[in-house]
Structure 1
Amino acid sequence: MCISARCAARSMCHTSRSASRQCAARGTSSSATMAKRVPVRWRLTLWYGGLLALALVGVCGTLYFSLRHELYQALDDGLGREAALALASVTVDQGQPSLDISAISNPREGEQFLRLTDMSGQPVADTGASLTSDVIASDGLNLALRGVGNLQWVAIDGEQLRVLSEPVRVDGHVIGAIQVGAFGTHISETLELLKLLLVVVVPLALVLASGGGLWIAGRALAPVDRLTRLAAAIAQHGEQNLSRRLTTMMPDDEIGRLARTFNAMLGRLDDAFQQQRRFTADAAHEMRTPLALLQSQLEVAIVQERDPTEDQIVFETLADDLGRLTRITSALLALARGDAGELTITRESIDLAELVELVASQYDARAEEEGVAVVAATSPLTIVGDEDLLIQLLVNLIENSLRYSPAGKQITVGCRPIAQGAQLWVADEGRGIAAEHLPHLFERFYRVADSRGRSRASGGEHAGAGLGLSICQLIVTAHGGTIEVASTLDLGTTVTVTLPANTPGPDSRFPIPIGIGNRESS
């Protein structure tokens, strides 16, 4: 029975403590939730009001106690001067002190007093009989008759009297005492008035300051409210509001910098949406042409009867169109994965000089057919990177140069070591590219055939979709490098790639189909 009772008691105690902890946790969570719901301007005002209250209490407390000290110190100093003057005026006749009070003092009746006593404590001279004998018999007088000067507070009819008692000495012997006193009523009244003033003024100042702080906080946070409303409008209506911008009166303060950052973000979003629309339209246009050709060829093949030779030509044309569609689709997929951050590379040691010479040699037959020389100019060089992607890079760049190099010209593919790692370049002697097109070469579906003259790709086998250099930039960026294009009209174009010796990123493969660049243009 006893053990069962104890167990039950412990269980109830544990349950009670658990419930208390849960209640405390809920209370804390509720308080935190309520605090989060308080608007920022109110939180700023509360913090400001709290700090101002602490400051005012500190200042007012310091003011009150400093003034109190100064007033009482002034009272004590005045009593000291009165006592010194009285002591200097005391005369002695047959060992008894005497004093002509009227000659040295003009005390205010009921507020001050001056008294000279002999060794028995009896008054020899005083300013009047308005004070009771309790003052004369006070401890302060007894101390003074023993040669110890002192200051004491004495209660007289409910009021506090400040009394200075000093011994009267002749030849080093105490023969009496001087008592000088004054009521501290005016000091008490002054301090009470000050306290009343502070009690009224401080809360009023807090209310006014908090109201002003709330107004100022509202004005200061107004741009944030506008930002919030603009963001809500964009979230509701989408890209239709991306052209709107925030304006601020003070563009260089914290709110101004926030507005500039938000405007810059809106600008980038607007550019991204515009680019996405252009990209979608261009992709649809590029795919529509081969699809239309496929459809027309198939319709003709269905309607008309042909001999095997004609059918073979149709099938070859269909295969070419399907190949172009496949390459465009593969390029779009590669770019989409790159934009999503899913493009990673295989880290392996690569003899870059050997790789350049291998890719260049694969174009010997085609270059001879088209009357163009493809020459490799390499220096011994080893880097860490993805061999397949680097081959794709070289293929795209060489294809572009072949496409725009007239017969009798030379294309140079080279590599060399530099301080940053490795430099890879493809230079041709074609018509070149106008300067206004250079900043846009890496944009998707951007083509500059007009600026480079008629190319072999014009309507032929190697017509491009404008994705080649975009793929090149994606590969170079994945290797942590940079790619630049320099061109002069009628002299040629040079594409320079700078790669680090050690490629960043995890060892992971994302395949970009080799051959995308075979029909891409820059």
Structure 2
Amino acid sequence: MGKSLGIMRNARTRLVLLSMVLSTLLTAAVLALVYVTANRTIAGETRSVVTAELAGLSDEYQRRGIFGLTEAIERRTQDAAERDALYLLTDPFGTVLAGNLVRWPPDVEPGSGWVELDLIRTESRENVPVSAASIRLPGGERLLVGRDASARRQFDRVLLRSVALALLAALALSLLTGWFLTRLVFSRLKDISRTAGEIVSGDLSRRIPLRGTGDEFDRMASTLNEMLDRIEELVGHLRTTSNSIAHDLRSPLSRLRQRVEALTDPDRSMAEREVDAARALAEVDHLLRVFSQLTEISRAEAGLGREEFEPVDLAALARDVAEFYDPLAQENGVGLSVETEAATLPGHPALLAQALSNLLDNALRYAPGGTEVKVRVARSDDTLVLSVRDHGPGVPETDLERLAQPFVTLDPARSGGNSGLGLALAAAIARMQGGRFEARNAQPGLEARLILPRS
């Protein structure tokens, strides 16, 4: 009993049974319709013929009387083509005058309508099923016309056997089809389940196998694999970020602790304490900036802020941000130019401005004096490109893909409080917009680009 219940809890078994039941019911309904339609058609044709014969024989009686009617009935009973036709003519008292039936059925009142009964034929003296109708003639005589229903009953038996065989065939076919379909479906689900189990066990590199059919299962597997790629990327970023936080914040926290300890040293002068306090505040400000940027990256990666999207004039935004950074560029002896095309897209204006600011910060940090930093907005069929190019030393090709990772900086000394989060935040904002971040060596210099969808 427990084993049977376990089988019934199996989704494959339930789907096979459901497919079998639905297919069988549908086949049974179609066959029942065929059976009923065939019987009604045959019965209707028989009634039409019998009714027409009754009318014809009644007319014969009107024209030629009882003797003419008797001759017409005897002529029809002798016709080999009418071997299933049954006739009976009696006087008002039941004496047989003509026909091929032995006697008038006692339970039939002339004119009572269509009847189904068993009667004895005169030539064979056998009981046969009869479908008939009757009338009473003006002289009181009784006339019954019908058809031998033996062939029809035989047809019913053959039809019922055919229906039963068809149902059995439909049952077997539905069982086979259900098994095949569920095997196909559950084999693909098994691939997904196995891959999910391996991922849960810690192997984030596993992917759902594609069978190359291009069907819905392959498309779903491809979508899930893209999701797993993104999850693996985010988990990798999380691990890198966690390790980097532990590594990169240790030094400023240690320095902060030293400054605080120095403030409590009674042997230090007031001037020295003021210097220590200023340095401690600088370390606190640096830590707050790091945590603020980490929070912004997390919000962008989670897609928070999409509800605030509005049409953004990217060209105007680029000019405004460049104008804000122009004094800093002049102070560094660097030229700052803007080249734009008309470009509007749905986006978060504040975050897009933040992303461009981070690109400019990075470019101005490494641009040599006397060179130029160029901000450019370009338009293509379905994307907009917001780029910043400097004429600095560039980046080794092997490090280009690491630039957008949190806490990655190619400045060993991390001068200027650079925490390596600016480009990571810009990349996260680009992803929130549905785009991506790219960096390439422009020879000379580095070009960082945000490639954003136009809609």
Q: TM-score of the superposition, structure 1-length normalised?
A: 0.55
**Paired residues for 1:65-464 under 5 Å:** 65-72=36-43, 96-97=67-68, 99=71, 101=74, 105=78, 126=99, 131-133=102-104, 139=110, 156=119, 160-163=129-132, 181-192=146-157, 194-195=159-160, 198=163, 200-201=164-165, 204=168, 208-209=172-173, 211-212=175-176, 214-223=178-187, 225-226=189-190, 229-230=193-194, 233=197, 238=200, 240-247=202-209, 251-287=213-249, 327-340=289-302, 356-362=322-328, 364-365=330-331, 367=332, 372-375=333-336, 396-411=358-373, 426-433=388-395, 441-447=403-409, 449=410, 457=411, 459=413, 461-462=415-416, 464=418
CA distance in 1, matches of 2:207, 2:269: 66
Partner of 1:27: none
Tell whether the 8 Å contact from 1:374 to 1:413 is kept in structure 2 after alignment. Answer: no
CA distance 1:358–1:201, shift in 2 (3 Å): closer
Tell whether the 8 Å contact from 1:160 to 1:184 is kept in structure 2 after alignment. Answer: yes
Partner of 2:27: 56
Percent sequence identity over aligned pairs: 22
Tell whether the 8 Å contact from 1:433 to 1:489 is kept in structure 2 after alignment. Answer: no
SS in 2 for 1:411: strand
Asked if residue 467 in structure 1 is aligned to residue 433 in structure 2, the reply is no
CA distance 1:180–1:414, shift in 2 (3 Å): closer
Amino acid of the residue matched to residue 185 of structure 2?
L
CA distance in 2, matches of 1:250, 1:414: 42
CA distance in 2, matches of 1:214, 1:195: 26
RMSD over aligned CA atoms reads: 6.3
Deviations 1:148-199 (A, max 9, x none): xx9765653675434577999xxxx99x99866543234234425644664x
SS in 2 for 1:241: coil
TM-fit CA distance, 1:248: 5.9
Structure 1 portions without partners, runs of 5+: 1-33, 144-149, 300-304, 450-456, 501-522
Partner of 2:443: 490
SS in 2 for 1:240: coil
CA distance in 2, matches of 1:267, 1:497: 21
CA distance in 2, matches of 1:318, 1:96: 137
Deviations 1:217-242 (A, max 9, x none): 531331364156437625xx736233
Amino acid of the residue matched to residue 281 of structure 1?
N
Tell whether the 8 Å contact from 1:373 to 1:410 is kept in structure 2 after alignment. Answer: yes
Q: TM-score of the superposition, structure 2-length normalised?
A: 0.62
CA distance in 2, matches of 1:411, 1:328: 26
CA distance 1:318–1:490, shift in 2 (3 Å): farther
Whichever of the two has the greater Rg, that structure is 1
Deviations 1:411-449 (A, max 9, x none): 356999xxx9x99765433344577765654332444x5
TM-fit CA distance, 1:86: 10
Structure 2 portions without partners, runs of 5+: 121-126, 262-266
SS in 2 for 1:139: coil
Tell whether the 8 Å contact from 1:223 to 1:248 is kept in structure 2 after alignment. Answer: no
